[in-house]
Amino acid sequence: MGLREGVTRLAAIIVIGGLASCSDEQTSTNEPTKPAPKVFTYNSAPVLQHYLALGDEAYANTLQSTLALSTAISNLLTTPTKEHLVLTRKAWQLAHNDYQGTQVFNFRNRLNPLGGKDLSYAIDGWPIQPGLIDYVQDYPYSGFIHHPSLVINEDNLRSQNGATDAEEISIGFHAMEFMLWGDQTDKPRPVTDFESISELSAEQKGQGFKVADMSNNRRRLYLATMMQALQQDIDLAAKQWTPNQPFYQQHLFKLDNKKQFSLILRSVYGWVSDYLIAKHLNPMNQDLTNQESVSLHAKYSGTGKHGLATSLSNVLKLYTSPEDGIKQGVDAIIEQLSKQQAQTLLSSLTTLDLHLTAIAETNKDEKTLAKAQAAALQLQNTLMDIGRSLQISLNAQQMAASH
Amino acid sequence: MKLAIFDLDNTLLGGDSDHAWGEFLVEEGIVDGDIHQQTNDQFYQDYQTGQLDIHAYLEFALKPIAGKSMEELRNWHIKFMEQKINPIILDKGKALLEKHKNDGDYLLIITATNHFVTGPIADALGVDDLIATNPEVIDGVYTGKVNGTPSYQEGKVERLNSWLAKTNMNLKGSYFYSDSHNDLPLLKQVDNPIAVDPDDQLAQTANNLNWPIISLRG
């Protein structure tokens, strides 16, 4: 079924709020007629179409920038120069930034309508324990790079990822970030770490080492292998959003209006609650000594703040209908429900945009962060109010309150 | 499989393991008695009022184990379990864990107390997994620093989200048992929030939101 056909076929309406119970419907003709209950109807299909198109675009962008990252790593390993290392770091920043833009399209496994594996841990698992991977300050021989007993191949790296603890990260953006920058922001990893070693010293030979065991060579192999794994995972994630594939595009149009809109609203709510409040604006995650990093997420490269802006820009696109097109933003439905709630939601998003922009454009401090946290909480509350009006439960607190 | 999540201190235990560890260190003469005790008490009071500076506390709490051999730490911990923890493991807490286990639920403890202190306690309670604040370990030795997000307040949500992504589990039908208002962010995420011998602030929220309130004491 094509996308357009799906929209037409499923352009049914849903009735929300104030429906009479069965006994009310069987009112005796002798009793006075009750006023008709207020009925709210909406068609979620255009909004879903907009959501899916934006999701597809966000993943397609990530796919493209990940391919560019793969090329940059290949160039770095072929010709390990400072310039190539700088270019690879930039390519990493772009790809990671684009991936942050997909976060409002991440159903998170608690509500993934397709079930299946949540790829976000393999792609963006964080925090990491860098000392398990390679050397860190004061520990020059730490990590599996220096211990040839771990054979570096994709299967082993995937098995190692989270083997004993969620922070035992061996693949994904952040393990790669550590490999490109190292753990010391004032003294980034030198490109010599990636120079190939082709001959052993007499001492190394005497100790039974092979050329492949040399830490530089293992580091090179690790970087290439983790890039391969990342590329595969992003390919798979992007595929789930591609039109005409048996994933989200086809599955979600089979749902009724309320379920479709619930998923969209919950994904926005999950973005605010899990991505913004619990992760990026969480006081537990702040390193105020590092002015470049919004949170400890992406702390080696110090680029978290740019990802936040990209992420929010997609939320804003999702909320707002294009001016010259059909009404297909989330605002199309909220405005029908209540103009006041639509205004409150837009105002919450605008305020959040203002404060996240302030973080991105200036050095952060506790005050700026506190304002952004307050704006995110305000948006969270606004979404919960809207959920209540639409009888869509967004979390346990709302379910309890609506009982 | 549903998730049954439990806070540890003052929920499954009739006391606070982190505070008890501080007392143990003082009693064993491992740290300077008066200063350590006073600071430990002050941090505990801050925790109870929701004012704890978690990073300052962790720096304080992890200092005594930094650089120590794993064997030495293991010996301390065996003594600690015998003297301080076994006496405060609540029978009704064990029964509650057993009930969820029999229901086929996945048992998870999530606590702000660090993994070094709580790992053996979680083992003793027989739960499936533990999310705790992770001390940094390099080359098999604790460095005295924290790795990643402390599982405290909103940090519990973040750490749980990361764990859910890793294990591919979800919160459908999930339970979370806790005594503390510091756990409100996570209590609001699960399907079945339950207050256990709650502090005043949590009791008030639980009453407002019609959450069950139970006691595992006595």
Q: Which chain A residues are within 8 Å of B158, Cβ to Cβ?
A: 274, 278-279, 282, 284-285
Q: DSSP label at B84?
A: I
Q: Within a 13 Å sphere around the CA of B61, how many CA atoms are in the beta-carbon half?
A: 32
CA distance A49 to chain B (A): 26
CA dist., res. B218 & res. A28, Å (int): 57
- By Cβ distance, the residue of B139, B155, B164 closest to A110 is B164
CB contact under 8 Å between A108 and B191, yes or no, is: no
CB contact under 8 Å between B161 and A279, yes or no, is: yes
Say whether residue A41 is in contact with chain B using an 8 A CB cutoff: no
Say whether residue A142 is in contact with chain B using an 8 A CB cutoff: yes
Confidence at residue A8, expressed as pLDDT on a 0 to 100 scale: 38
- By Cβ distance, the residue of B148, B163, B171 closest to A127 is B148
Q: Where are the domains of chain B?
A: 3-214
- Count of CB atoms within 10 A of residue A250's CB? 15
CA dist., res. B61 & res. B162, Å (int): 25
Confidence at residue A112, expressed as pLDDT on a 0 to 100 scale: 62
The sign one gets for the Cα dihedral A16, A22, A23, A27 is positive
CA dist., res. B212 & res. B189, Å (int): 15
* Cβ–Cβ under 8 Å, residues B194 and B177: yes
Give the pLDDT mean for A335-349. 90
CB contact under 8 Å between A395 and B189, yes or no, is: yes
The sign one gets for the Cα dihedral A353, A359, A362, A368 is positive
- By Cβ distance, the residue of A111, A142, A397 closest to B188 is A397
ipTM > 0.85 for the complex: no
The two tokens of residue B73 are 């730490």
* Cβ–Cβ under 8 Å, residues A211 and A204: no
- By Cβ distance, the residue of B154, B163, B191 closest to A282 is B154
Instruction: For chains A and B, count residue pairs whose Cβ atoms are closer than 8 Å.
Output: 109
A270-284 pLDDT tens trace: 899 888 888 888 766
CA dist., res. A294 & res. A292, Å (int): 7
- By Cβ distance, the residue of B136, B154, B211 closest to A284 is B154
Residues of B identified as active-site: 7, 9
**Which residues 302-361 in chain A show a CB within 8 A of chain B?**
none
Mean pLDDT of chain A: 82
CB contact under 8 Å between B191 and A396, yes or no, is: yes
Q: Which chain B residues are within 8 Å of A399, Cβ to Cβ?
A: 191
The two tokens of residue A275 are 């991505």
Say whether residue A163 is in contact with chain B using an 8 A CB cutoff: no
Task: Report cis status (omega within 30 of 0) of the bond before A127.
Answer: yes
CA dist., res. A180 & res. A85, Å (int): 8
Confidence at residue A398, expressed as pLDDT on a 0 to 100 scale: 47
CB contact under 8 Å between B154 and A401, yes or no, is: no
Range among A106-120, A122-136, A243-257 with highest mean pLDDT value? A122-136
Q: Which chain B residues are within 8 Å of A117, Cβ to Cβ?
A: 168
| Mean pLDDT lowest among A1-15, A52-66, A354-368, A386-400 | A1-15
The two tokens of residue B130 are 């533990």
CB contact under 8 Å between A109 and B54, yes or no, is: no
CB contact under 8 Å between A403 and B210, yes or no, is: yes
CB contact under 8 Å between A282 and B191, yes or no, is: no
Name the 3-class secondary structure at A48.
helix
Most B CBs within 10 Å, among A174, A284, A294, to test the B interface = A284
Q: DSSP label at B66?
A: T
Residue A313, classified by CB atoms within 10 Å of its CB into exposed (0-12), middle (13-18) or buried (19+), is middle
* Cβ–Cβ under 8 Å, residues A263 and A84: no
- pLDDT means over runs of 10, chain B (218 residues): 95 94 90 84 83 83 89 93 96 97 97 93 96 88 86 84 86 92 88 94 93 92
- Count of CB atoms within 10 A of residue A139's CB? 17
CA distance A277 to chain B (A): 8
Confidence at residue A38, expressed as pLDDT on a 0 to 100 scale: 59
CB contact under 8 Å between B138 and A131, yes or no, is: yes
Helices (H) and strands (E) in chain B, counts: 9, 7
The two tokens of residue A118 are 């949540």
A297: CB partners within 8 A, 6+ apart: A126, A127, A174, A279, A280, A285, A304
Give the pLDDT mean for A169-178. 96
Residue B93 falls in which region: left (phi positive, over 0), alpha (psi -120 to 50) or beta: alpha
A18-66 pLDDT tens trace: 333 333 334 444 555 666 555 677 888 899 999 999 999 999 999 999 9
Residue with token string 């110090």: A302
Confidence at residue A294, expressed as pLDDT on a 0 to 100 scale: 44
* Cβ–Cβ under 8 Å, residues A152 and A222: yes
Q: Within a 13 Å sphere around the CA of A176, how many CA atoms are in the beta-carbon half?
A: 31
CB contact under 8 Å between B136 and A279, yes or no, is: no
* Element containing residue A123 per DSSP (H, E): helix A120-124
CA distance B7 to chain A (A): 18
CA dist., res. B20 & res. A63, Å (int): 51
Question: For residue A393, how far is the Cα from the chain centroid?
Answer: 22
The two tokens of residue B149 are 């997000």
CB contact under 8 Å between B154 and A278, yes or no, is: yes
CA dist., res. A306 & res. A95, Å (int): 12
Q: A287 pLDDT band (50/70/90 cuts)?
A: low
Buried/exposed code over A49-58 (b: 16+ C-beta within 10 A; e: otherwise): bbbbbbbbbb
Say whether residue A373 is in contact with chain B using an 8 A CB cutoff: no
CA dist., res. A348 & res. A16, Å (int): 25
* Residue positions counted in chain B: 218
CA distance A358 to chain B (A): 23
Q: Which chain B residues are within 8 Å of A120, Cβ to Cβ?
A: 165
Q: Which chain B residues are within 8 Å of A162, Cβ to Cβ?
A: 166
CA distance B39 to chain A (A): 21
Superfamily of domain B3-214: HAD superfamily/HAD-like (3.40.50.1000)
| Mean pLDDT lowest among A112-126, A127-141, A232-246, B150-164 | A112-126
CB contact under 8 Å between A396 and B163, yes or no, is: no
Name the 3-class secondary structure at A260.
helix
Give the pLDDT mean for A234-242. 90
Name the 3-class secondary structure at B4.
strand
- Count of CB atoms within 10 A of residue A118's CB? 22
- Count of CB atoms within 10 A of residue A161's CB? 20
The two tokens of residue A254 are 């089979």
The sign one gets for the Cα dihedral A113, A115, A116, A117 is positive
A318: CB partners within 8 A, 6+ apart: A50, A51, A54, A104, A264, A268, A329, A330
Nearest residue of chain A to residue B176 (CA atoms): A396
What residue type is assigned to position A347 of the chain?
A: S
